[in-house]
Amino acid sequence: MKLQRRYFLIGGAALVGAGVFSVWWSDKAATARAERLTTGPGQSSFAGWLKIANDDTVTIYSPHIDFGQGSHTALAQMLADELDADWGTVRVEQAPADYAFGNTSIAKLFVPTMSGHPDVMKRLPDPVFSLLARNVPLQITGGSSAIRGTGQYGMRVVGAAARRALLATAADRLGVPETELTAAKGRITHTRTGKVLRYGELAEAAARRDLRDAPALKTRDQYTFIGKPIDRFDIPGKVNGSAQYGMDVIRPDMRVATVIAAPVRGGKLLSVDHGPAMAVKGVEKVIALDDAVVVVASGYWPALKGVRALAPKFSDGGHGHLDTAGIYAAQAQLIAQAKPDNHYGAGDVAAALHAPGARVLHAEYRVPFLHQAAMEPFAMTGHHADGKLEVWGATQDPLQTRNLLAQFSGLSIDNVTFHPMIMGGGFGRRFPPYTQIIEQIARVAMQVDHPVKLIWSREEDVKQGAYRPQSLGQLQAALGHDGTITGWQTDYAQFADAESEVVFPYRVPATARRHFKYISNQVDAYWRSVNSTQHGFYNESFIDELAHLAGADPYRFRRAHLPAGGRHLAVLDAVAQRSGWGTPLPSGTGRGIALVESFGTICAHVIEASVTPDGTPKVHHVWAVVDCGTTVNPRNAQAQVQGAVLMGLSTALGEAITLTGGAVDQSSFPDYPVLKLADAPPIDVHFIESDAPIGGIGEPGLPPAAPALANALFVATGKRIRHLPIAGQLA
């Protein structure tokens, strides 16, 4: 997931008139508010994100939502390491959806890129980033940002500052120099006398100290928890059923509702007869919204029966002519007009393509709309009473969700409370601007005299998604006399400009990337790995085709175009070595390779695959090598990469959202098939620890999967895959 530039422009505008004094005052007030919201008797707060109790319990507040990525545990490892805490006393809780918990650390991660000033962190004090995070507002989970943003710029810094405050307090209390003290396992020991003070008995006084002047962070050789495969906090509750998802919320005297929206995105409700739904036993109310109809009942089943009994009439918003083939044709036509919205690159590509003796290759790649296919459909519970709105649910930005609830309900922000829940999957689908249920629950709750849980059916979830964009890429490149690439051009048509995300690692004298903005009636939104998925497929498939044209081995061809001694080359060499690249394979089996950098992490895959007699691809084995700088929790990181690989394979093999008459064709898993456990291959994951800044881990494992598989299938069959999904192309 990436952030929209306009959010930072809005936040920046808020900063311009703030003034230095008001910025510092606002930051202090926000910290005090955070302490009031989370700190009780016998507890002391450090910067709002950490509290230490008299009994030595260490509680860390995470601004990130848990939807299976394990970031709560990794963030705790990072803070506890700098704090020198006793791991047995560490707990993690979800930060409230309140502006006091605007995520300063994420602002530090994204502002340098979004502002175009990489050195901005050195030029602006922390309170400026805090004010920006509160004004955007910014409390997101996505973009593989938890560890490389919140962990690195937030949790580690808070832990180090708190440790220093505890040491200073202990020195004052014992009347000794700090240099004679050591901190370990939640205790401070005076090495000369052996006297010991617990963190719990020092916390109250230490929390009153200025935390702004934090010491240097630990180096790799000093880590205690970072780099260790520590058990995740969230797993026991998910195993024993005590974990509470948005779907699990139950309130006294609660009603349940479900919804049906215009089948053609952009359509409006023209009319609906409430009678058939009201005739269903248990149905209490029918609510007409601008583009949907909601049925409220005593339970989900009567609500669903009531919705299905209706025959609402919707307009098509002028989009009834759209279909999948037509979108691809329109995208190709847009590129043919040669009027890009944005143009990037360096060198004279045209000269390279037209040089005497150049071997030129052209290829067109296509990828469809993709649904996030989270296991938990949308579910939110709202209760409006006494002029206040209280909502329970799962989104990827609780703070922005609260703001939207206030906007849609017409209430002031102080009269709206949002309770963040854990999610049964997200992958960008639950980013608030694209989470339609937020507006729906606000409007429904204002019209129902009871708590009401609004649940989307699986069919509604699939048909009303916020999808990865359908995209078309036209690539052309030239090979020189020595068989190396002399020029490369990528023209792509889709909604979003991908330049800020897509990394092109290869040494090519002349390159060009041209974006042609195409807008359909669908919601083009965030999807796991965002634009790195389609562009990873384009680039890594095309470079394989160029290797074939050059008569070169695909691995060695890539190697020849990477800088010597670099991280990309190390990852590529490692995956080739671990997979046994170049060793003989059974007849009909192919081996493919792909290398993609995304979210600050470099990942390479080698995949072995074949095709069954009925034309179905079969993946036999996957090797993945990852350089994310520092691997905070290797066991969890391995699980994240494995999950990303499986999601990448699933989308490459069979997933697609298609349109007919402007409406989505698919409705559930029978026609939107996801990879089954029985078809999941062994996945070997290896991490390279490097001195690079910490990169993301939840998303980078996905982009190389599709091209590595397509490249393997070319070796196995001689058929080149340029369109996804692969299903039906090899029969």
Mind listing the pLDDT tens digit for each residue in 64-91?
999 999 999 999 999 999 999 999 999 9
How much is the pLDDT for 111? 78
pLDDT band at 387 (very low <50, low <70, confident <90, very high): very high
User: Between helices 705-717 and 634-653, what is the axis angle to 10°?
Assistant: 50
Whether the pLDDT of residue 561 is over 50: the answer is: yes
How much is the pLDDT for 18? 47
- Report the pLDDT averaged over residues 134-153: 92
Share of the chain above pLDDT 90, in %: 90
pLDDT band at 22 (very low <50, low <70, confident <90, very high): low
Residue ranges and CATH numbers for the domains of the chain are 5-236 (3.30.365.10), 249-316+378-455 (3.30.365.10), 340-369+467-717 (3.30.365.10)
CA distances in angstroms from 118 to 7, 131, 389, 600, listed in the order given: 18, 19, 41, 14
User: Between helices 531-550 and 705-717, what is the axis angle to 10°?
Assistant: 30
pLDDT band at 122 (very low <50, low <70, confident <90, very high): low
Q: Give the helix/strand (H/E) hosting 687.
A: strand 683-687
Tokens 């052996």 — which residue? 194
- Report the pLDDT averaged over residues 646-674: 98
pLDDT band at 322 (very low <50, low <70, confident <90, very high): very high
> pLDDT (tens digit, 9 = 90+) per residue, 336-363?
999 999 999 999 999 999 999 999 999 9
Phi, psi torsion values for 115, nearest 5 degrees: -85, -15
Between residues 210 and 609, the one the model is more confident about: 609
Whether the pLDDT of residue 7 is over 50: the answer is: no
Q: Measured between alpha carbons, how far is 577 from 112 in angstroms, rounded to an integer?
A: 37
Whether the pLDDT of residue 454 is over 70: the answer is: yes
pLDDT band at 128 (very low <50, low <70, confident <90, very high): confident
Q: Give the helix/strand (H/E) hosting 443.
A: helix 437-445
Nearest in space to 63 (alpha carbons), one of 126, 152, 160, 140: 140
* pTM, to two decimals: 0.95
Whether the pLDDT of residue 1 is over 60: the answer is: no
Residue 127, token pair as written in the block: 């309170």
Give the amino acid at 509.
P
CA distances in angstroms from 23 to 106, 126, 128, 718, listed in the order given: 18, 10, 6, 63
Whether the pLDDT of residue 8 is over 70: the answer is: no
- Report the pLDDT averaged over residues 395-405: 97
Phi, psi torsion values for 590, nearest 5 degrees: -120, 160
Lowest mean pLDDT among 14-23, 200-209, 469-478: 14-23
How much is the pLDDT for 6? 43
Q: What is the β-pairing status of strands 313-314 and 269-271?
A: antiparallel
pLDDT band at 114 (very low <50, low <70, confident <90, very high): low
Whether the pLDDT of residue 12 is over 80: the answer is: no
How much is the pLDDT for 112? 76
- Report the pLDDT averaged over residues 435-461: 98
**441 contacts 14 by C-beta, under 8 angstroms:** no
Nearest in space to 364 (alpha carbons), one of 445, 462, 471: 471
Q: Measured between alpha carbons, how far is 448 from 647 in angstroms, rounded to an integer?
A: 39
- Report the pLDDT averaged over residues 261-271: 98
